[in-house]
Amino acid sequence: MTPGARVAAMIEVLDSILVGVPTEKALTNWGRGHRFAGSKDRAAIRDLVFQAIRCRRSAGAWPNPISARSWAIGSLRINDIGLENLFNNIGHAPPLLEIDEIITNKCTKEDAFDLQDWVVEELFTSYGSKKASKIAELLRHRAPICLRVNTQKASLISVQKTLADDMIETILNPVCDTALTVMTNPRRVVLHDIYKKGWIELQDAASQAVAALIPAKGRVLDFCAGGGGKCLAVSARTGGLVFAHDANPDRMSEIKVRALRGGHDINVILPDQIDEYGQFDSIFCDLPCSGSGAWRRSPEEKWSLTQADILEYQKLQREILVKAEGFVELGGTLSMITCSIFNAENQAQRDFLLGKFKSLKIISENQYLPTENNDGLYNVVLQKS
């Protein structure tokens, strides 16, 4: 496909998104309807679509664009991509630009943050104007692709060399000692033999870092396991048994497969079995949250989230934390984790725990903000005395 044809495809996908089709489904539907498109074309179209969503406001498409075409034009322009050679009506490229489309729309200072107004206010209040502005700018761009090296099976150097032999270049990620950042050909990673052998997993560097902070002595329980990323990371670091639990068993469907691939000892506990297991020395809760620290990966969520949603997350998080605390052995630890950068989901929840359970005290606390190397995550470890 020509660059212009890819833009035409981008417009088709954005059209679907505007009528309510979720982004991933819109991309999948387009791919099924255009089987001739190769993998590179589909990847390029995906990148164009996601960038348009990340920059929706500065592209003039928030809250409502004139059309998917105007949204695409605004996104390409705001990202300094020349339009004339893309909108040339040649082959499958979009029709020529109209006079009003050539005129650059004015982007206000508020628009340039590419966030909802209430989110901007929240970040400025929490972090100050300089830091909040940097966070907003980072959220306008693609997130780094990071790997967790399973040091039970391989070293970082051996993984780097093996991937480099297949033209997948990586660099050491400074956020965690098990993390590599993929610099070239990231889509080849999951097809590589060492991925299938369990040498590596895709996992953000800050996510690896907070997993490394979880105390892992004695009986360890991942109370909100989901897909199992953090319990696998804990097991890979210690070589020991980790129990995995989630209120929704379907979310844990891949854990056993991933554990077998990586050679990890993971014992999955179903919701109706958890009471039978007694108490644990270390429990960690990777809580459901706004996901604001990872909005680069799911940019549609930064436009759909409301302040009412935050209140609902707070309520659910507190219910989970109270229940998890009851399973912590005396002298044991409770680790709270979110991929949020909002105080309401982090420090406020920490204070809730300290206020409700006088026996808890803070051992460690870390707030990772989004950077060129990692997503934003929060972690606090509390000991029960």
The pLDDT of residue 103 is 81
| DSSP track, 252-295 | GTTHHHHHHHHT--EEEE-GGGGGGG--EEEEEEE-----GGGT
Q: Is the dihedral of CA 48, 50, 55, 57 positive or negative?
A: positive
The neighbouring-strand residues paired with 146 are: 181
The answer to whether 342 and 310 have CB atoms below 8 angstroms apart is yes
- Could you tell me the pLDDT band of residue 106, with boundaries at 50, 70 and 90? confident
Question: Tokens in use for 44?
Answer: 């390029």
- Could you tell me the pLDDT band of residue 104, with boundaries at 50, 70 and 90? confident
Percent residues over pLDDT 70 in the chain: 100
The pLDDT of residue 330 is 98
pLDDT digits (tens, 9 = 90+) for 129-188: 999 999 999 999 999 999 999 999 999 999 999 999 999 999 999 999 999 999 999 999
pLDDT digits (tens, 9 = 90+) for 27-44: 999 999 999 899 999 999
Question: Tokens in use for 365?
Answer: 């606390």
The pLDDT of residue 45 is 97
- 121/342 Cα distance (integer angstroms): 11
Q: Is the pLDDT of residue 48 over 80?
A: yes
Residue 250, CA distances (Å) to 4, 17, 227, 232 in order: 41, 27, 9, 17
- Could you tell me the pLDDT band of residue 217, with boundaries at 50, 70 and 90? very high
- Could you tell me the pLDDT band of residue 297, with boundaries at 50, 70 and 90? very high
Query: Closest Cα to residue 278, out of 353, 354, 226, 330?
Result: 330
Phi/psi of residue 329, nearest 5 degrees = -65, 150
Kindly report the number of other CB atoms within 10 A of residue 120's CB atom. 16
The answer to whether 371 and 174 have CB atoms below 8 angstroms apart is no
Q: Is the pLDDT of residue 199 over 90?
A: yes
Residue 86's Cα: distance from chain center in Å?
Answer: 31
The pLDDT of residue 127 is 97
Domains of the chain: 3-111 (no CATH), 145-202 (3.30.70.1170), 213-384 (3.40.50.150)
Question: Hey, is 70 helix, strand or coil?
Answer: helix
- 233/297 Cα distance (integer angstroms): 20
- Could you tell me the pLDDT band of residue 107, with boundaries at 50, 70 and 90? confident
The pLDDT of residue 102 is 86
Radius of gyration from C-alpha coordinates of the chain:
23
| 242-256 average pLDDT score | 97
The answer to whether 301 and 290 have CB atoms below 8 angstroms apart is yes
Q: What is the mean pLDDT of the chain?
A: 96
Q: At what angle do helices 347-356 and 307-325 cross, to 10 degrees?
A: 40
Query: Closest Cα to residue 9, out of 59, 43, 58, 56?
Result: 43
